[in-house]
Structure 1
Amino acid sequence: MKQVLVTGGAGYIGTHTCVELLARGYSPVVVDNFVNSSPVALDRVRRLTNHELPSYEADVRDTAQITDILKKHNCEAVIHFAGLKAVGDSVARPLEYYSANVIGTHSLLTAMIDAGTAQFVFSSSATVYGEPVFLPYTETHPLSPTNPYGQTKLTVELMLNDLIASGAMTDVAILRYFNPIGAHESGMIGEDPHGVPNNLMPYVAQVAVGRRPALNVFGDDYDTVDGTGVRDYLHVVDLARAHVLALNRFSRAPGPITVNLGTGHGSSVLELVRAFEQASGRDIPLNIAPRRPGDIAAFWADPSQAESLLGWRAEFDLADMCRDQWAWQSQNPHGFSAS
C-alpha cells in the first residue's frame, strides 16, 4: 500500500482527498498545524472510511520534523495542501502568506529530498492567471496574478519548474484549481472556515442555516449573464479524485505535468444562489454592494488537458454541489466546533 504524506490533510480539500485515497488503496499520513482546520475532521474521515489515518500536528516549515515523518512512514509521495488561501487576507498580510506558502513549500521540498520522497502533487490556483487575456483559461495563458496569494502560488510553481530542470525531482503535478465547492455526500465532512467566510458558497450556506443574515453581492453591473461575477465552480469530490489520478499517472507516465481543474463553464453569483435555494428550500436574502477592487468579471477553465493527461473530467453539476453543501451545512450548522 503506497504511503502518501498529505499536508493540510485536515482541511477542506485535504479531508476529501484522504477519503478518495483510502478508497483507492493508498495509505495517507496527515500533517496539519490546525491553524485553519480541526482534528475533528480527521476523526470524521476515520469514521467515514473505517480506516486508520495517522496524523501529526506539525508545520511544514519544520523541515526536520517533516523529514522524520516522511522517513518513519516511508512515504513515496506528497500531496501538498498546507498554506494560507484567502485573497483579501493576503493583501493585508503578505509576509504571512509568503512564509506559509513559499517558505513552507521550500521547507517541505527540502525534507522530501532528504527523505528520498520523489513524487509531488501541488495545490496551485487559477489566480496565477490574473486578468483574462482570453477565455477559457488554458495552461498556456499568460501568468500574471493580481494579489499576494496568487503571487505565492506562482512563485512555488516557478520554484518547482527550476527543481524539475535541475533533475532533483521530476514527478511533479501542478494542479491549478478553479472554485471548489460542495461536500461529501454523507454530510460528515465539508468546508468549515474560521471566522467570516472568504468564499461565496460557505457564506451562502451559513445564511441558509441562519448563522448570517444576508449575502452581500459585490457588483451587479458586470458584463455577464445577470451582471454578477461568473466563476467555474467544481465539486470538491471531483477535485479530490484528480489528486489520486495524478499519483496514478506517475506510475504509468513519469514526469511533470500542469493542468487546470474546472468544469469548463461558469456560473454567476445569482445562478449559484438560486441553485442553492432550490437545493435547501431556504431563501437567501441579498444585499447588492459595490464591486470590490481587483475582482474579475468572469473566468472559467479549459480542462481538456486534465482529461488528456489524467483521464479526469468533472462529473458533478451545480445542483449536485449545492445538494451536498446543504447536506453538510444542515447537519453541521456550526461546523466541526459543535462536535
Structure 2
Amino acid sequence: MYPWLRRPYTMPATVITGGAGYVGSHTVMALIEQGISNNEIVVIDNLSNAYCEQGDDKPTSLKRIEEMTGRTIRFFNIDLNDEPELCRVFSAFDVQCVIHFAALKAVGESVTKPLEYYEANVAGTISLLGVMRRFGVTKLVYSSSCTVYGEPRKLPIDEGHPTGDGLTSPYGKTKFFCEEIMKDVCISDKSWKIISLRYFNPVGAHSSGRIGEDPSGIPNNLMPYIAQVAVGRLSEVLVFGNDYNTPDGTGVRDYIHVEDLADGHVKAIRLFDQPGFSGFHAVNLGTGTGYSVLQMIAAFESASGRPIPHRIVARRAGDIAENYADVSLSHRLLGWRAVRTLEDMCRDTWRWQKQNPEGFKTTHKTKKN
C-alpha cells in the first residue's frame, strides 16, 4: 500500500495519531506555521473522524494544509490496534516524538457505545505505547480531557483536583485509564517524558477558513451544531436541560479556540528539550472562563448575523452542570495562555462553516453542463 516504505527514511519524524481530525489537523498546521517541526510530519489516522475524498491518497484536511504551507505530510490510513502496520511506520522513520490524538470523543455516544470507546481509546493507546517502547520512542504529548475530573468538587478546576472519582461517561473513563497507564509507564522507565494536555472544550477554526470541525453525521458537540443550524443544514439547536444550578439554567463550559489549543501542543513539544524534564505531567488547557449554552447561541447569532432557533429538551446522560479551568500551571510550565476571545471563536467557526457549508465534502467537483 505504501511502496516507498521499502526504504527507511533517516530524517527525524514527528508522528501524529489522529492528525487528520479536528484538533489534530490544526496542530499539524501550527507545527508548520511556527517552524517547530523541521522533522518529517507523519500522520496516522483511521479516518473515523476525518473526511477523505474518494480516490484521494490522503484526507482533505491534510491536502489543504499542504496547499497552504507547501509542506508534504506523510499519511497512513492505519488503526492503532493494528500493531504490525504501526511497526512498519516506526521502522521507516527516525521517530523523535508522538502527539496522540486518535480517539473516539463524544461523551453522549460513549454512554451508548462503551465497548467501542474502550477498544479505540484504551486498547489503541496501549498498542501505541507498546510500539513506541519497542522502537525506543519515549516522548509523548497526549490528548486528554477535563472529563477525567468527573463532577467538579471545586471551581475552577486545577490539576490537583482528584481524577477518576465519579466519572460520568465511558469517554471520561477512557481518558482517565490512559493517564493511569502512562503514569505507570513513566514510573517503570525514567526515560519516558509524557505531557497529558487536559482539554476543556475546543471550538473555532483556522483563521483561513480552510480547515475546521467537520463531524460525521449529526454533531455531538455544541458549536458545530450551532454552526450547522446557522448555515441551514440543521433546523434547530437542542439545549439539553435548563434546570442546572447555573446563572441561566443551562450547562456552563470553558470553551477554547482550537488555534490556542494547537499552540499549547507546540509549547508542550518544546518542553521536552528542557534539561531535567522527565516523567508524567498533566496540564489543563482552557481559558479559565465559563460560558453557558444560551450565551454561546447568542454570541454565534451576533457573529453570523443569523437567528439560531433552539429548543429546551431533557438533560443528556453523562453531562454535568458546570466546569472551567484553573490554567495557572499552563502559564508557569508551558509559558502558554489562551489569547483568542469568544468573539474570535464564533467568527472563525462561522467563516469556516459559511465557506464550507457541507464541510470538507465541498471539495467534490461538479460536472459542467
TM-score, structure 2 normalization: 0.90
Identify the residue that residue 92 of structure 2 maps to in structure 1. Answer: 72
2:171 corresponds to which of 126, 136, 149: 149
Identify the residue that residue 192 of structure 1 maps to in structure 2. Answer: 214
Native 8 Å contact 2:288 2:324 kept in 1: yes
The 3 A distance-change label for structure 1 pair 337 and 324 is same
2:104 corresponds to which of 72, 84, 92: 84
1:55 corresponds to which of 70, 75, 81: 75
Amino acid at match of 1:304: S
Greater mean deviation of Cα atoms: 68-77 or 192-201: 68-77
Native 8 Å contact 2:108 2:316 kept in 1: no
1:212-235 per-residue CA deviation (whole Å, 9 max, x = no partner) reads 011111112222222211100000
* CA distance, structure 2, for counterparts of residue 153 and residue 329 of structure 1: 29
1:252-282 per-residue CA deviation (whole Å, 9 max, x = no partner) reads 1421321000000101111111111111111
2:341 is equivalent to residue 321 of structure 1: no
Native 8 Å contact 2:111 2:317 kept in 1: no
SS at match of 1:164: helix
2:292 is equivalent to residue 259 of structure 1: no
* CA distance, structure 1, for counterparts of residue 114 and residue 285 of structure 2: 26
Identify the residue that residue 268 of structure 1 maps to in structure 2. Answer: 292
The runs of 5 or more residues in structure 2 that have no matched partner are 1-10, 52-58, 364-369
Alignment of 1:1-339 (within 5 A): 2-23=12-33, 24-26=35-37, 27=39, 28-38=41-51, 39-143=59-163, 144=165, 145-167=167-189, 169-253=191-275, 254-255=277-278, 256-339=280-363
* CA distance, structure 1, for counterparts of residue 232 and residue 68 of structure 2: 27
1:184-232 per-residue CA deviation (whole Å, 9 max, x = no partner) reads 0000000000011000000000000000011111112222222211100
The 3 A distance-change label for structure 1 pair 2 and 281 is farther
Native 8 Å contact 2:237 2:308 kept in 1: yes
Native 8 Å contact 2:168 2:319 kept in 1: no
Shift of the alpha carbon at 1:25? 3.6
Native 8 Å contact 2:203 2:345 kept in 1: yes
Native 8 Å contact 2:27 2:262 kept in 1: yes
SS at match of 1:79: strand
Amino acid at match of 1:34: L
Amino acid at match of 1:42: L
Greater gyration radius? 2
1:137-168 per-residue CA deviation (whole Å, 9 max, x = no partner) reads 11111112211111110000000000000016
Native 8 Å contact 1:64 1:111 kept in 2: no
SS at match of 1:252: coil
Shift of the alpha carbon at 1:18? 0.2
**CA RMSD between the two structures:** 1.2
Native 8 Å contact 1:221 1:228 kept in 2: yes
The runs of 5 or more residues in structure 1 that have no matched partner are none
Shift of the alpha carbon at 1:338? 2.2
Amino acid at match of 1:136: P
SS at match of 2:214: coil
* CA distance, structure 2, for counterparts of residue 196 and residue 73 of structure 1: 37
TM-score, structure 1 normalization: 0.97
Native 8 Å contact 1:163 1:169 kept in 2: no
Native 8 Å contact 2:19 2:45 kept in 1: yes
Shift of the alpha carbon at 1:2? 5.0
Q: How many residues align?
A: 339
Greater mean deviation of Cα atoms: 150-159 or 245-254: 245-254
